[in-house]
Amino acid sequence: MAEEYPHKIALVGLGTIGLSMLAMHLRRPDTTITVYDPRPDYESQIRDTLPSLLPQSQTKSQSGSESNQIDTLISTSRLKLATSLASALHNATIVQEQSPEVTASKQALWKEISKLTGPDTHLWSSSSGIPASVQSATCDDADRVAERLLVAHPFNPPHVMPLVEVVPGPRTKVGRVGFVREYFGGIPGPGTCPGTGAGAGTEVEGGHYRAITLNKEIPGFVGNRLAFALLREACYLVGEGIVSAKDLDSIVTASLGPRWAGSGVFESYHAGGGEGGIGAFLQKLAPTIQDVWGKLGQVDIEGEQGWKDLVVGQTEEAYGDYTPERRKKKEEMLGEVVEMQKKKWAEL
Ligand SMILES: NC(=O)C1=CN([C@@H]2O[C@H](COP(=O)(O)OP(=O)(O)OC[C@H]3O[C@@H](n4cnc5c(N)ncnc54)[C@H](O)[C@@H]3O)[C@@H](O)[C@H]2O)C=CC1
Ligand SMILES: O=C(O)[C@@H](O)C(=O)[C@H](O)[C@@H](O)CO
């Protein structure tokens, strides 16, 4: 008989990303999730935050209250709250960490996890930019751990955003990459209620997540290198007084944002190049592109801080405190964009 829950995930680190990941994993009915965080108040954090990350219909109707919903997930063994790392890892088939983005911290954590898990356990890091080969480097049996460890980098919020940037290390076994792609490919969208007790054999409708695998490790991977290149130029332009932070955001949301929701960087310029496509585009625009490339801003996070005072001051003035209501509204907008993409996916 097929095992009731073939996937037993240990989620280690329940902060911003960990909580969103929890909401995402709960959408696979063939998966149980055990969570652990050294923060003593993490259970109250789950009870306060998780319901808002789940479909509202599920939160209010079936369980009657948000608290009951968490209790239902616990009583049906879909969700377990561990009080130690060792107990969280017991029988785990997958370990996914969302601990702080600090190399030494992640290395120490994997060193501990690798001693508490078997050779078959899949090891995933949610890191924004620390390669798997760096994270496993200090493990006692580093080579064996490196064969199992990979980065499955999400974009915030993972329970909505479709990208999973899969970044294997040079020693990561190919089968581990195939597994993570298949696992995320089988997770349904954010409108799907957490399966309760459906167990193995339940038809798992996927089609929400897009796992993109990098061919080689590079710090920051691809998504964040692109995002941080744009961020650097944006900070430079505000620091130089060329544009305000709010107007720069409007320039992005009124042009590049909508464009890139339907066509990526290269497809957009391929379309913009006319008959000759991107080749013609690059040739026609070469002088301007080269001139701009040679004059892109140079700001450094540790360097002169004048630009940073302007960026922070203007952003706080424009948006104030980022309230839960605003966050929820933006998340709903993001969800609608992603659902539109999925409807048009075949054409993307
Ligand atoms: N915040 C974001 O937008 C994104 C973050 N990430 C990555 O996810 C990871 C977590 O980031 P956030 O959730 O933003 O951080 P966070 O600071 O919100 O949460 C980190 C959690 O880890 C816990 N923690 C601390 N030491 C730990 C340990 N030794 N073992 C287990 N848990 C520990 C903390 O108590 C905290 O709850 C980082 O690697 C980050 O780069 C990835 C994509 C997006
Ligand atoms: O932008 C995102 O959601 C991700 O690419 C990230 O990794 C985070 O923004 C990260 O850069 C900050 O923790």
Full DSSP string of 101-154: S-HHHHHHHHHHHHHHS-TT-EEEE--SS--HHHHTTTSTTHHHHHHHEEEEEE
Residue whose CA lies nearest to ligand 1 atom number 26: 99
The reported pLDDT for the residue numbered 303 is: 79
Encoded amino acid at 211, one letter: A
pLDDT tens digit sequence for 196-212: 444 444 445 568 999 99
Pick the ligand that lies closest to the CA of residue 161: 2
pLDDT at 196 (0 to 100): 46
Atom of ligand 1 nearest to the CA of 128: 41
Report H helices in 129-222: 132-135, 142-148, 174-185
CA 7–ligand 2 middle distance (angstroms) = 26
Q: How far is the CA of 338 from the centre of ligand 1 (A)?
A: 25
Res 2: pLDDT: 63
Mean pLDDT in consecutive groups of 10 residues from the start of the chain, 348 residues: 85 97 95 97 94 70 65 93 97 98 98 97 98 97 96 97 98 98 94 59 69 97 98 98 98 97 95 95 96 96 90 97 90 94 77
CATH superfamily for domain 7-213:
NAD(P)-binding Rossmann-like Domain (3.40.50.720)
Point out the ligand 1 atom lying closest to the alpha carbon of residue 17. Answer: 13
d(CA 263, CA 344): 11
Q: pLDDT value at position 304?
A: 80
Q: How far is the CA of 303 from the centre of ligand 1 (A)?
A: 26
Measure Cα distances from 131 to 15, 113, 174 in Å.
20, 17, 16
pLDDT value for 197: 40
Pocket test for ligand 2, best of 156, 167, 228 (most atoms within 8 A of CB): 156
Instruction: Determine the Cα–Cα distance for residues 169 and 214; give it in Å rounded to an integer.
Output: 10
pLDDT for 194 equals: 74
- For the question of whether the overall pTM of this predicted structure is more than 0.90, the answer is yes
List residues near ligand 2 (CB under 6 A): 128, 155-156, 223-224, 227
* CB of 58 sitting under 6 A from ligand 1: no
Segment 200-256, tens digit of pLDDT:
444 455 689 999 999 999 999 999 999 999 999 999 999 999 999 999 999 999 999
In this prediction, residue 81 carries a pLDDT of 97
| Residue 324, pLDDT score | 86
Cross-strand bridge partners of residue 36: 12
Buried b (16+ CB within 10 A) or exposed e, 232-254: bbbbbbbbeeeebbeebbeeeee
CA-165 nearest atom, ligand 2: 5
Q: State if residue 13 touches ligand 1 by the CB under 6 angstroms criterion.
A: yes
> If you take atom 35 of ligand 1, which residue's CA is the nearest one?
39
Q: What percent of the chain has pLDDT over 70?
A: 92
What ipTM did this prediction achieve?
0.98
What is the structure's pLDDT at 1? 59
* pLDDT at residue 65, as a whole number: 64
**94 CA to centre of ligand 2 in angstroms:** 22
Nearest 10 degrees: Cα torsion 46, 336, 97, 71: 30
Residue ranges per structural domain of the chain: 7-213, 223-262+300-347
Mutate to test the pocket of ligand 2, among 125, 126, 167, 224 (most ligand atoms within 8 A of CB): 224
Q: In ligand 1, which atom is closest to the CA atom of 45? A: 37
| Ligand in nearest proximity to the CA of 102 | 1
